[in-house]
């Protein structure tokens, strides 16, 4: 079994359920130094990731990104999947999916892509 830590950018909300708040690449280095196998990126926007540098840090440390959390989308923007208003649920689905798809496919080169967002809308 592999073990990772949830990390977020330095400006993450206080409610973000993460271990480290810092530059995301520094978080990768810290997790590697502690012996972890990966990092969960807790993101509000895909643009929070400096992708070229993140790729370098992941390659240098051997860490993986097994998960991208969209909890900050809920906390900051009040978009969540169980909201009574269907329009809010739709917006939450699109936002969460697009954050993950953008980072994973176009930026970090993983298999997830915008096609996975087809269930919303």
Instruction: Divide the 121 residues of the chain into consecutive groups of 10 and give the mean pLDDT of each group.
Output: 90 85 95 95 84 91 86 73 83 71 56 44 38
* Residue 78 and residue 113 in contact, taking contact as beta carbons nearer than 8 Å: no
Is CATH 3.20.20.150 correct for 4-115? yes
- This prediction has a pTM of 0.73
Please tell me the predicted confidence (pLDDT) of residue 118: 46
- CA-CA-CA-CA torsion sign (54, 57, 59, 62): negative
For the chain, which residues make up each domain, given as ranges?
Answer: 4-115
- CA-CA-CA-CA torsion sign (60, 53, 6, 23): positive
Please tell me the predicted confidence (pLDDT) of residue 93: 75
What b-and-e string marks burial along 27-66, b requiring 16 or more CB atoms within 10 Å of the CB? bbebbbeeebbbbbbbbbebebbeeeebeebbeebebebe
* One-character DSSP codes across 80-119: -TT-SSHHHHHHHHHHHHHHHHIIIIIIT--S--GGGGGG
């Amino acid at each position: 079994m592999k073990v990772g830590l949830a990390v977020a950018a330095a400006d993450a909300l206080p409610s973000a359920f993460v271990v480290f708040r810092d530059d995301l690449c520094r978080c990768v280095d810290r997790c590697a130094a502690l012996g972890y196998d990966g990092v969960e990126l807790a993101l509000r926007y895909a643009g929070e990731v400096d992708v070229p540098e993140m790729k370098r840090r992941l390659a240098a440390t051997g860490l993986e990104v097994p998960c991208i959390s969209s909890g900050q989308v809920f906390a900051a923007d009040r978009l969540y999947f169980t909201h009574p208003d269907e329009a809010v649920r739709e917006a939450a689905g699109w936002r969460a999916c697009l954050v993950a798809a953008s980072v994973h496919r176009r930026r970090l080169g993983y298999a997830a892509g915008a096609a996975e967002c087809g269930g919303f809308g």
